[in-house]
């Protein structure tokens, strides 16, 4: 029986490997794109809640952009630290910055989504760039992204950054997360105009004002914790053109400072990605164990044929893991040495997110609790 399971798993990974190799070739690298100095006003919209540690460095890196027609809308989302004061200080130093201070959250909204909604309403550009308050930009980032957007005549461009991590185990976990996300979501398919699969990344979502309005803006996804992804999904569903690109040397962000913080961060998105379904959560946990941990256990089987098939399965897994890691991160591929450990940590993260959501009756994020009843509402 184990041999049959491993054989099916090996075949599964071989099919995934073929799709992955083809798909990764479809992801453009923005480093190769020439910059555009002007071509219309771009409004950079940055929401922040209690981001005093990161926001100044992030905004200063953005202010150094070579693109000339640009403004910043900074939204202080009910921060209890010095985030708002830092925003006001930066605004006083650069007249391209406007600051919005949100004092209270209306019913039926997630905080970040409402902040982005307010920022878009205040923006004057024909193109919006939604980004996070901890992302660091190289000077040509916006200029190259906008040139690509214009050249490809697209409505939405999302960009994968370099996800920086400090510890070995955290890097391995991030690499595994990107591996799992890639084979599950197939982000490259967003670059195929006939595909309805959409993609959005919170670090960089550049979208035309007109298409943003036609998909209903953030009001249409006001209760989605995965707002960045949902924005991209709606773009494709409404028939607009979208591309995903990478910019590993021009856009970087520390995903989480520690493994424990990563687990906390996934409380918000992991269960939402499984449609708040305990059945899907259990299915995902069993699926990860069977397809990504069991082969590493089965190599110790006394049955030589079963052990050999386990090694074939592992080789097929690594054939998917390595190209994704090399293309989407700056990490060395030898993090694959702890692949089953990373898989076990991922199972724990999914279980933890679902269990805490059940115990709390909803999601608690950045000091605000959102009930399951709210989150399951159709916007």
**In this structure, what token pair is assigned to residue 310?**
């386990």
Res 378: pLDDT = 52
In a domain? residue 178:
no
How many folded domains does the chain comprise? 2
* Other beta carbons within 10 Å of 302: 6
In a domain? residue 173:
no
For 7-53, list the strands marked E by DSSP.
Answer: 42-48
Task: Mark which of 231, 254, 277 sits at the end of a domain.
Answer: 254
Helix (H, G, I), strand (E, B) or coil at 253: strand
**In this structure, what token pair is assigned to residue 313?**
């399965």
At 89-123, the pLDDT tens digits run 999 999 999 999 999 999 889 999 999 999 999 99
In a domain? residue 176:
no
Q: Domain span at residue 227?
A: 26-164+186-254
Res 377: pLDDT = 66
Query: SS3 for 210-223, per residue?
Result: HHHHHCCHHHHHCC
Whether residue 124 sits in one domain with residue 160: yes
Whether residue 204 sits in one domain with residue 342: no
DSSP secondary structure string for all residues of 161-193 = -EEE-SSHHHHHHHHHHHHHHHHHH-GGGGGST
Whether residue 353 sits in one domain with residue 275: yes
Res 209: pLDDT = 98
Upper half-sphere CA count for residue 69 (Cβ side, 13 Å): 13
Instruction: Say what the pTM is.
Output: 0.92
Task: Mark which of 237, 254, 271 sits at the end of a domain.
Answer: 254
Whether residue 107 sits in one domain with residue 38: yes
Sole residue written with tokens 């595994």: 176
Res 97: pLDDT = 98
Task: Mark which of 194, 226, 254 sits at the end of a domain.
Answer: 254
Nearest of 211, 350, 328 to residue 280 by alpha carbon? 350
Residue numbers in the chain where pLDDT is lower than 50: 379
Integer distance in angstroms from the first to the last C-alpha of the chain? 46
CATH number at residue 215: 3.90.550.10
Res 379: pLDDT = 43
For the chain, list the strands marked E by DSSP.
Answer: 42-48, 70-77, 97-102, 127-130, 136-137, 156-160, 162-164, 205-208, 242-246, 251-254, 362-365, 368-371
Whether residue 322 sits in one domain with residue 277: yes
d(CA 238, CA 291): 35
């Amino acid at each position: 029986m184990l041999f049959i399971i491993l054989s099916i798993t090996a075949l599964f990974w071989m099919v995934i490997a073929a799709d992955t190799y083809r798909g990764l070739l479809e992801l453009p690298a923005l480093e190769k794109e020439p910059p555009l100095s002007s071509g219309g006003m771009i409004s950079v919209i940055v929401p922040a809640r209690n981001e005093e540690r990161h926001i100044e460095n992030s905004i200063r890196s953005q202010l150094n952009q070579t693109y000339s027609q640009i403004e910043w809308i900074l939204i202080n989302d009910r921060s209890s630290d010095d985030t708002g004061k830092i925003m006001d200080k930066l605004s006083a130093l650069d007249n391209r910055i406007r600051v919005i201070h949100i004092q209270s959250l209306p019913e039926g909204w997630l905080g970040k989504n409402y902040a982005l909604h307010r920022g878009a309403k205040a923006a004057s550009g024909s193109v919006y760039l939604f980004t996070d308050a901890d992302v660091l930009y190289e000077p040509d980032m916006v200029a190259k992204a906008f040139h690509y957007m214009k050249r490809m005549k697209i409505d939405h461009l999302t960009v994968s950054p370099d996800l920086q991590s400090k510890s070995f185990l955290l890097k391995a976990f991030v690499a595994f997360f990107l591996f799992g996300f890639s084979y599950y979501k197939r982000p490259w398919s967003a670059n195929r105009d006939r595909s309805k699969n959409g993609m959005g990344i919170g670090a960089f979502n550049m979208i035309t004002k007109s298409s943003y309005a036609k998909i209903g803006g953030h009001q249409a996804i006001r209760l989605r914790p995965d707002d960045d992804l949902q924005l991209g999904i709606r773009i494709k569903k409404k028939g607009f053109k979208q591309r995903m690109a990478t910019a590993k040397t021009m856009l970087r962000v520390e995903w989480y400072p520690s493994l424990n913080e990563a687990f906390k961060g996934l409380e918000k998105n992991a269960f939402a990605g499984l449609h708040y379904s305990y059945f899907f959560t259990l299915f995902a946990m069993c699926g990860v164990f069977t397809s990504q941990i069991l082969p590493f256990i089965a190599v110790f089987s006394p049955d030589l044929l079963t052990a050999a098939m386990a090694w074939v399965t592992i080789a097929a897994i690594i054939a998917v893991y390595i190209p994704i890691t090399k293309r989407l991160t700056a990490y060395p591929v030898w993090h694959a040495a702890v692949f089953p450990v990373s898989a076990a940590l991922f199972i724990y993260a999914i279980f933890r997110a679902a269990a805490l959501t059940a115990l709390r009756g909803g999601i608690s994020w950045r000091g605000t609790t959102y009930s399951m009843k709210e989150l399951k509402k159709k916007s």
